[in-house]
Amino acid sequence: MLKLSIIKRRDPRDITSPEKFYLTTISQGSSNLKQLAEKISYQSTLTPGDCYNVLSALEKNVIDELQQGRIVRLGELGTFRVSVSSEGKMTDEELNASAIKKARILFRPSVELSKMLKSLHFQRERVRNV
């Protein structure tokens, strides 16, 4: 169950606008690779160390594949790829790497991960002023 907080704030794009109430999720903590490795080890015959090594290798290889310009599909999680934003030029001869304004990682959730979002349950908690 995801807990929700209610915050009261102005639209940051229009500071003259009246304050409104918005819903936001309340984080219930975080998990790191070591904790995930421990959980996975309880669900398999692998040791926590083995699981950690596999997750670390996955992390390194995903980064390497993205650096090579490949799309990385991680099963039921989704797809990662690199994208860039560039300046527009009048001719294609003017374009080179210096025209790139920003590079970013794009993530597209899988169908299964998207379905999970539709099945979430929420619980309202409290009001915060921001």
Lowest mean pLDDT among 23-27, 70-74, 110-114: 23-27
Residue 126: pLDDT above 70? no
Edge to edge, the sheet with strand 72-74 lists 72-74, 78-86, 100-109
Residue 60: pLDDT above 60? yes
For residue 120, give the nearest of 39, 25, 22 by alpha carbon. 25
For residue 66, give the nearest of 85, 79, 56 by alpha carbon. 79
Which run of H or of E encompasses 39? helix 33-42
For residue 77, give the nearest of 41, 112, 29, 34 by alpha carbon. 112
Chain segment 88-125, per-residue pLDDT in tens: 888 888 888 888 899 999 999 999 999 999 999 998 88
Q: What pTM does this model have?
A: 0.77
